[in-house]
Amino acid sequence: MIVIDEYLAVQVLRGRWPGGLPDDEFGLPASRHWRLLQALHGRRGGQLSQLLSPLGEIDRAALRWPHPEVLAVLDTRPLLDEAARITARFGGGWIIGETIAAGLAHGRRLYYGSAANIGRPERDASTHLSVELVTLTG
């Protein structure tokens, strides 16, 4: 399984996979799906809201309820203890801890839609925990 961020999830669900994204099952951490849903339901004017603003209702529905054969929203429960351990050690919040924990559980590689979406806690955790951070733009 390939763990991706919400920016790549939008591209995948719209059928616009960026080059370099392996052809495999895709998993989106639940906290990142939550962030995506927040941007869909209450435009906040940020980068994600801008990405979503031109989408029609069919694309919005695909993001709200992704088909599990295209994108699985990962179950948070098995990741919580490790996520809490990660955030206690490296900082950040739930989204960072859960994403790094998902990377540990699913191949030690995480795919992001932009390098700007990777902060210091992710970089520190990935270095110390041997999780590769891959940035793709599409």
pLDDT, tens digit (0-9, with 9 covering 90-100), for 97-119: 999 999 999 999 999 998 988 99
**Residues 2-135, CATH architecture:** 3-Layer(aba) Sandwich (3.40)
Question: Angle at CA 111, nearest 5°, toward 82 and 9?
Answer: 100
Spell out a b/e string for 35-62, using b for 16 or more CB atoms within 10 Å of the CB, else e.
bbeebbeeeeeeebeebbeebeeebeeb
What secondary structure letter does DSSP report for 77?
G
Give me 34's structure tokens: 């939550």
Query: 124 φ, ψ to 5°?
Result: -65, -50
> pTM of the full predicted structure?
0.91
Instruction: Taking residues 57-82, report their average pLDDT.
Output: 93
Beta bridge partners of 132: 109
Which of 94, 16, 21 lies closest to 62, judged by CA? 16
Angstrom distance (rounded) from CA 41 to CA 62: 14
Question: Angle at CA 85, nearest 5°, toward 129 and 89?
Answer: 70
Confidence check: pLDDT of 138 > 60: no
Confidence check: pLDDT of 77 > 60: yes
